[in-house]
Amino acid sequence: MTEIKHLIWTLPLCLLLSNGRFSNYFLHKYPEKRRNVSLSSQAEIGSENIHTLFLNKFFTGNYLDESLKNSVSNRLSDYNRFGADWTSELRYENMNDSLLGKNWGYLAAFKNRIYAEGQFNRYAFDLPFYGNAPFAGNEISTSGTTGFMMMYQQFQLGFVKTWQRPKSQHVFAFGLSYINGNQLYEARIDSNRILTSNDAESVFVQLDGYIYRNDPAYNTFFANNGSGLGLDLQYQFSQNNHILSVQALDIGFISWERPGEYYRIDSSLHYNGIIIDNLFTTDGSEFTQFIDSLNQNYVKKEITNPGFRMLPAILHISYAYQFLDGRILLQTGVDARYSAHYFPSMYVRGIFYPHQRIMIAGSIGYGGFGTLNTGLDLGIDFGKGYTLSIHTRNLEGLVPNTFATGLSAGFKLSRYF
Amino acid sequence: MKKTFSHLFFLFAIICIQCSCSLDGTSWDIDGKGPVLQTQFDLSQAIPDPHLQYAADSAIMLNFYDTVYTVDVDSIAYIPDSSYLFNITWTLPNINLQPGVSLPAFPIKIRFGIHERIKLNAARIKSGRLKIKIKSVIPRKINIQYNIPNATYYGIPFSLSETIPAASAGDTIVYSTHLNLKDYYVDLRGPNLNEYNVLYIYLTPTLNENEPALPLSTGQFLFSTENTLEKVNPFYAQGFVVPATDSINSNIIDLGTSRYIRSGILDIDSIRMGITLVNTMGVDMRLKIDKFRSINDATGQQIELTHPIINSFINLQTAQNTYNTTNPVLPYNYTLWLTPQNSNLDQLIENIPDRFRINSIAQINPMGDATADNNFFYTTVPPRFIFHIQAPVKFSVYQVQFIDTLDNPLFEEIEIEKFLSGEFRIIAENKFPLALAANIYTLDDAGLLTDTLFTQSLISPAPVNAANRVTFPLISNLLAPFNEAKIKNITSARRIVIKARFNSVPNLQLLQMYSDYYLKLKILADVKYRITL
């Protein structure tokens, strides 16, 4: 029986009810310690075609030269995915709680998640970064460009049950979360046409789309703009050196109840220049009046609530096999999301313990918000139950370059006791 | 272990660098192309519509008029702030005043206005107040009746009743209030209608019915009153305006033309210029124009008007009082028309004057008391000069140069340094038979020319047909290319100079302007612009 228990807790389990690509790498060091408290944070940003050199230059206050813009523009397709996910979590686990019964455990967690995704038409990149002059005489469109960003806080309570057999083990975990819908931004261009005349005498713009934002008065961290529920499920089967795990996380919704601001445009404008009625009496206010008139005549503001939005649920399936008494593990898996813009991400990973207190893992994958990616995980056991691991799924993006299209990083600091 | 930590810190540093996002300073260049602004000029924008008239064939006639000088009648009707202090003393034999019994009314006389300019017999007050202060030493409660029978508010005489408490021994009771005189009509002729500029107040004290009898002895001081006129301005004044002579030496129109037009020949057809003298006062006036000059400040050239009216008196008869509140005066108007035929008006105009200046004397009520005491005036309708110019807008200009120098106002708000290179193009659609060559020049601190904005700067004149009439416009392109060096010159310029040279074509031929003539300008941009977050 002891051996089986040892088997359960010494394999590098996927984190229970948490991001499946992150593991408990040093659980085997503390077989008798059933409680754990941890702080973790992981962020990723990715796109099919916007490479890391561009992201690095853009987000660090640099000049974006023509060759840099060209290196992105030349690889753009008609529609291009992008996304970002930043989850931070504080959690407590107790895997052998006597109150709940034999082989029951529980966990409690507080999470904050910022999630954004969308897609953009190639001209949604080219127009702001090249201007309209290169397209004079040709009608261009940014139709289909869409994106949203939501931030929510999750208060989770989960339970874990294990069933032990002579040669195998089954673990089932489920968790329920109350979700505080904190911030939501959405933008969508349903239809758009832009035509600049060759002689520069006119610019025609047709636009049907909207931008939504929360009530700015309720935009601080923790502000409640809506509420929701989330369900996390996980099943893990292990036998001998094989481990199979299936996770379904963040199955749920947020009802965004507090009215926010929709700015809708469904108009066309044939712009021939700002009209100065009288050169003798003008004070130059026509320019600001023109901007005001655009707001008044073309932008329709509505105060309403956006209603239900599904959470970006995650489905993660992984299989792992250990060699050499667990000094080497090979893992493969796929994760998918409830998202039109997240391509199912497949990966293989090798986990190696060169020293009993050090873990190094390397991975290669394809999909997600980006494309091909390589990962590196490093873990250190400081002793007395303290461990730290850091990781990236985009090693190729650590040094900004023009072929990698994702950036990610994360850490987990935990203590077993 | 130390090595492990150092590696950890290194890795954290990489993560931190990746997360240290700041968009501040992120920048890139775009190529923008499109229209910036458009405007259309026609003569109705330069000259307000009330001053233009249109003939059947749409030829434009100028009929400009404006009040250019106003006589200051407020100075004639001026009523200074003044206080009048009276001590009331019992001058009759000793008596024992019984409760409820009044003393005889004490008359108090206050003066309105300055009789050197006007002897008022009546006025309606536009604003101001009468401040009343009473200081009593009477050891009884006294009822005071304060009456001004000649100050009426739409027929109702002013009357005020007030009870003043008893003064204790050695003490003084002070009572004060004020009367808002707005809209009061005051008869200033006194009780016997033989005075002027005076208003009588009658103050009647009565011993309160609940007080014991009050012994009064001859020479006993009772109380004092102080009546102060504050900021009193009449709306209407009537009386006798004292004959006076005033000088009027004034610019009656100030164009500042030579500040902008430095040279050239201007020829205007069939112009006539008028000065209308409007007498709105109920008193005769006479005006003698000593000089009327056209002055060009740039050249120093002064052309004096030659016309029979110079040094002759113009009689301005008295206006009629209609007593109508909305239109109270029927003024007497006298218009003097100057034409090329009766004067040297052409010379005055071709001088391209900055201003016209008049030196004259005005005599008010020159006939003395001929109108008795019925002179009047309304301060809201003062006598004035109205200046007219009437002419067909038909002229020729030859090499007329407009120059203006300004402190560099260019583009502070639009951050011109973000324009890196490119070109601004002005499409000018011109239906005037006028050629215009315009440019903008930048000057450095020493006033030296540093750059020129336009490389093509000529707006061609629209061609005229055999009848000297434009039938279709002509389009010209003005180009202002720029690069970083030019932008630097513009942003560092202390001042800019705008120069424009006008020629009517055909040259030196009078050309009539029509209402369908216009100049459309459209500014287009084709620029490289730096966006900075």
CA-based end-to-end distance of chain A: 22
Assess whether pLDDT exceeds 90 at residue A174.
yes
Query: Is A337 contained in some domain?
Result: yes
d(CA A187, CA B115): 80
Closest CA to B211 of B83, B325, B90, B97: B97
Q: Identify the pLDDT of residue A164.
A: 82
Tell me whether residue A250 is in a domain: yes
Q: End of a domain among B375, B392, B409? A: B392
pLDDT exceeds 50 at position B7: no
Q: Which residue of A has its CA nearest to B533?
A: A61
pLDDT for A20 equals: 58
At A17 the pLDDT is: 61
d(CA A48, CA A66): 20
In this predicted structure, the answer to whether residue B141 has a pLDDT above a threshold of 50 is yes
Indicate whether B48 belongs to any domain: yes
Q: Is the pLDDT of residue B5 over 50?
A: no
Domain membership of residue B15 (yes or no) is no
How many structural domains are present in chain A?
1
Q: Can you list the pairs that B164-169 forms with residues at least 24 positions away whose Cβ atoms lie under 8 Å?
A: B164/B134, B164/B136, B164/B138, B164/B223, B165/B141, B166/B138, B166/B139, B166/B140, B166/B141, B166/B142, B166/B211, B167/B136, B167/B137, B167/B138, B167/B139, B168/B139, B169/B139
Helix (H/G/I), strand (E/B), else coil: B147: strand
B268 shares its domain with B345: yes
Average pLDDT of the residues in B294-316: 92
Which CATH number goes with the domain that contains B188? 2.60.120
* Cβ-based contacts of B48 with chain A (< 8 Å): none
The two beta strands, B434-443 and B449-452, are antiparallel
More confident call, B4 vs A154:
A154
pLDDT of residue B15: 45
Q: Can you spell out the DSSP letters for A262-287?
A: EEEEEEEEEE--EEES-TTT--STHH
Residue A192's pLDDT is what? Answer: 95
| Cβ distance of B35 and A275 shorter than 8 Å | no
Domain boundary among B195, B216, B240: B240
Q: What is the pLDDT of residue A382?
A: 92
* Average pLDDT over chain B, rounded to an integer: 86
Residues in CB range of B379: below 8 A, 6 or more apart:
B73, B74, B77, B126, B233, B234, B235, B236, B237
Residue pLDDT, tens place only, B34-75? 998 898 888 887 777 778 888 898 898 888 888 878 888 887
Residue A133, min C-alpha distance to chain B (Å)? 5
Q: Which residue has the higher pLDDT, B357 or B251?
A: B357
- How big, in percent rounded to 5, are the helix, strand and coil portions of chain B? 10, 55, 35
Pair B90, B221 in one domain: yes
Exposed / middle / buried, residue A274 (Cβ in 10 Å: 0-12, 13-18, 19+): middle
Residues B131 and B177 in one domain: yes
- Predicted TM-score (pTM) of the model is 0.70
Expressed as residue numbers, the domain containing B147 is 81-240
Give the pLDDT band (50/70/90) at residue B411.
low
Residues of A in contact with B4 (CB under 8 A): 380
Q: What is the pLDDT of residue B16?
A: 47
> Do residues B218 and B240 lie in contact, with contact meaning Cβ atoms separated by under 8 Å?
no
Name, in order, each residue with C-beta under 8 angstroms of B36's C-beta and a sequence gap of 6 or more.
A273, A274, B424, B523, B524, B525
Task: Give a yes or no: residue B14 inside a domain.
Answer: no
Q: Tell whether B425 lies on the interface with A, counting CB pairs under 8 A.
A: yes
Is the domain of B471 the same as that of B361? no
Together in a domain, B89 and B233: yes
Distant-in-sequence, close-in-space partners of B170: CB < 8 Å, separation ≥ 6: none
Structural domain of A228: 2-376+402-416
Residue of B36, B37, B424 to mutate, interface with A, max A Cβ within 10 Å: B37
Say yes or no: B256 and B401 in one domain: no
Say yes or no to pLDDT of B18 above 50.
no
pLDDT of the residue at A21: 63
Residue B33, burial from CB neighbour count under 10 angstroms (0-12, 13-18, 19+): buried
Q: Taking residues A278-297, report their average pLDDT.
A: 82
Interface subset of A 184-223, CB within 8 angstroms of B? 196, 199-203
pLDDT tens per residue, range A11-22: 445 566 666 566
pLDDT at B261: 66
Ordered DSSP codes for B436-478:
EEEEEEEE-TTS-EEEES-SB-EEPPPPB-TTS-B-S-EEEEE
pLDDT above 70: residue A8:
no
Is residue B314 located within the same domain as residue B228? no
Residue B363 in tokens: 């005599």
Work out whether strand A63-64 and strand B27-41 pair parallel, antiparallel, or are unpaired: parallel
User: Residue A397 and residue B478: Cα distance in Å, rounded?
Assistant: 51
Put simply, whether A395 touches B (Cβ < 8 Å) is: no
Pick the residue from chain A with its C-alpha nearest to B10.
A390
Is a pLDDT exceeding 70 seen at residue A366?
yes
Query: In percent, how much of chain B has pLDDT > 70?
Result: 92
Backbone angles phi, psi at A220, to 5 degrees: -85, 165
> Is residue B20, in this structure, part of any structural domain at all?
no
Task: For residue range B79-119, list pLDDT tens digits in order.
Answer: 888 899 999 899 889 999 999 999 999 999 988 766 677 88
A275 in B contact zone (CB under 8 Å): yes
User: In the listed set B240, B262, B279, which residue is the last one of a domain according to the structure?
Assistant: B240
- Residues of chain B in contact with residue A278, where contact means CB-CB under 8 angstroms, are 39, 45
Same domain flag for B515 and B468: yes
Domain count, chain B: 3
SS3 B11: helix
Is there a contact between A400 and A52 (Cβ–Cβ < 8 Å)? yes
Q: pLDDT category, A375, cuts 50, 70, 90? A: very high
Counting Cα atoms < 13 Å in the Cβ hemisphere of A359 gives 28
Give the end-to-end CA distance of chain B in Å, rounded to a whole number. Answer: 44
Report the 10 Å Cβ neighbour count for B474.
17
B177 and B311 co-located in one domain: no
> Which chain A residue lies closest to B529 (C-alpha atoms)?
A131
CA distance B382 to B388: 19
Q: Do A409 and B19 touch (CB under 8 A)?
A: yes
- Given CB atoms, is B529 within the 8 Å cutoff of chain A? yes
